[in-house]
Structure 1
């Protein structure tokens, strides 16, 4: 297959979307695919496959009355198929699994599809979705996150409306945060407060100021780290503010000795930072979940396989032989 221009870290089919007028749906399609897979790369591949299918259908003379409906159906069903094939890989994953981070620079909007998604799904919520079956995840995502009515959810997934209602109710019971899925875009004041808290938080951690850190951490704060067995990361989540604070101070002290610096960014709609080594290569991504003025959870992704879409990846945290 010939490849064309780069879009969001993946190649796009030359003219496939433009020729059909479908490019305007790319942000929505990427958001659905990413919500289904938790992977930026897989989401981009799924969207590309959907565009390819559209091109082939048009070339075969198929009349497509509703382009948006056709593409959302294609992306959702491709996402279901992908999850079914990925189930075994997820079950054998080494350490704490976190989704590939969607990063929007703090000083710019970033790619359109990433900017739209950044207001939709946090890392914590995507981890919760892992407990659902592929079809449950599709129904829940379409209904709860993207606001589709049951007739549309049924059409997209190929289920009856009654079945979709049952699937959604069952999924809702298994997702404690079901009523707090989608955040509206943060107003400037709240965004500024989040960025300021994040700045002070990382400064305190880098400086070893335990008192300041404990004042910004919720008592039951949790630290998650995803190294995928390929980079240095904690084996299981760390809980309680004092332990989390100690681990943060020790971790930042270690990476600073390796020449790693932090650059502010918005990660999955939450304030955070991207870590870069002395050569400007991506070493990791950190996301902060902030509520009630304190940090509730920290998600750190250093698995090199989950950072490639952000640029050249550093080897400072890579485990020997990996």
Structure 2
């Protein structure tokens, strides 16, 4: 098998690495390191009968090592932590063309921001086992091979992880029911239209009673310091925030973010100011995730200085 054939696995490998880390840059580095390991093994004369299995194992184990070293950094993170947003290529919710990195095109839709935040409650190995089994559909035999655990141990780890994820879901209002892509896209269009137009009543009509607004500024950009979970407060925060940034020439464009409807906000010079993802289910918005931390937006292009805190 040549390098071109090996490259066909990049979308899957990126999805696994991103699911492990919640970081686009770290995921790309992990995937590159896995391919480098494959090249070195072949140069030493090692026969790799199943490159896909080799690469998947390498990416997963590198992801586990990364999470172990990242724990201290996460504990000292300023404000609420959200994953780096992945803006998907293809057709946007409003029918417009959306551009984005092609290698991210097959990112699993189930790797939403809400789901990735829930995964933060798991240990690195629990996260790997749960994600490989639940998201990517690997059998326990393959999960055991990839993680270096026994099948029996993987079953126990998965059951324990599933219980913890379920408990976290209940604590945040329960897992949302599914909603068809077209319907959620239309709701997102009306949602952002109402928010941009200052229509409080229309916005409230699209929010779940227990809606939660999450903001991640990383201590570098203006964002909520804690989650807001009252519909009226959430609506007013959204309206006030959009009103302030529009005064600086910021525009909003619909996009698919982590497989969910969302929007990218850019300043008058086209620089990314923030990315918003909507968790939609049962005909309403269950959660809003807004990422303004400039470090988490650089993979999308030049980053705006609008909203940055003094000295940042």
Q: TM-score, normalised by structure 2?
A: 0.92
Query: Among residues 144, 147, 164, which one is paired with 2:137 in the alignment?
Result: 147
Using the alignment, how far apart are the partners of 2:45 and 2:225 within structure 1? 53
1:129, 1:137 within 8 Å by CA — same for their partners in 2? yes
User: What is the match of residue 44 of structure 1?
Assistant: 28
Using the alignment, how far apart are the partners of 1:143 and 1:89 within structure 2? 27
Unmatched runs of 5 consecutive residues or more in structure 2: none
1:283, 1:302 within 8 Å by CA — same for their partners in 2? yes
User: What is the match of residue 60 of structure 1?
Assistant: 44
Query: Among residues 245, 249, 256, which one is paired with 2:246 in the alignment?
Result: 256
Structure 1's 156 and 52: CA in aligned 2 closer, same or farther, altered over 3 A?
Answer: same
After superposition, where does 1:263-302 map in structure 2 within 5 Å? 263-302=253-292
Q: Does 2:78 align with 1:94?
A: yes
Q: Does 2:305 align with 1:308?
A: no
Using the alignment, how far apart are the partners of 1:300 and 1:25 within structure 2? 30
Deviation at 1:195, TM superposition (A): 2.2
User: What is the match of residue 160 of structure 2?
Assistant: 170
Query: Among residues 170, 191, 201, which one is paired with 1:201 in the alignment?
Result: 191
Residues matched between the structures, number: 301
Query: Among residues 60, 66, 69, which one is paired with 1:82 in the alignment?
Result: 66
Using the alignment, how far apart are the partners of 2:176 and 2:61 within structure 1? 22
Larger relative contact order (CA 8 Å, sep ≥ 6):
2
Q: Does 2:148 align with 1:158?
A: yes
Using the alignment, how far apart are the partners of 2:225 and 2:161 within structure 1? 28
2:176, 2:280 within 8 Å by CA — same for their partners in 1? no
Using the alignment, how far apart are the partners of 1:109 and 1:316 within structure 2? 23
1:34, 1:43 within 8 Å by CA — same for their partners in 2? yes
Deviation at 1:180, TM superposition (A): 6.7
Structure 1's 243 and 130: CA in aligned 2 closer, same or farther, altered over 3 A?
Answer: same
Unmatched runs of 5 consecutive residues or more in structure 1: 1-16
After superposition, where does 1:213-232 map in structure 2 within 5 Å? 213-232=203-222
Q: Deviations over 1:7-59 (max 9, x none)?
A: xxxxxxxxxx9636310100110000000000011000000000000000000
Using the alignment, how far apart are the partners of 1:128 and 1:293 within structure 2? 22
1:121, 1:181 within 8 Å by CA — same for their partners in 2? no
Structure 1's 18 and 155: CA in aligned 2 closer, same or farther, altered over 3 A?
Answer: same
Deviation at 1:208, TM superposition (A): 1.7
1:282, 1:314 within 8 Å by CA — same for their partners in 2? yes
Deviates more, 1:202-211 or 1:130-139: 202-211
- Three-state SS of the structure 2 residue aligned to 1:314 is coil
Q: Does 2:13 align with 1:23?
A: no
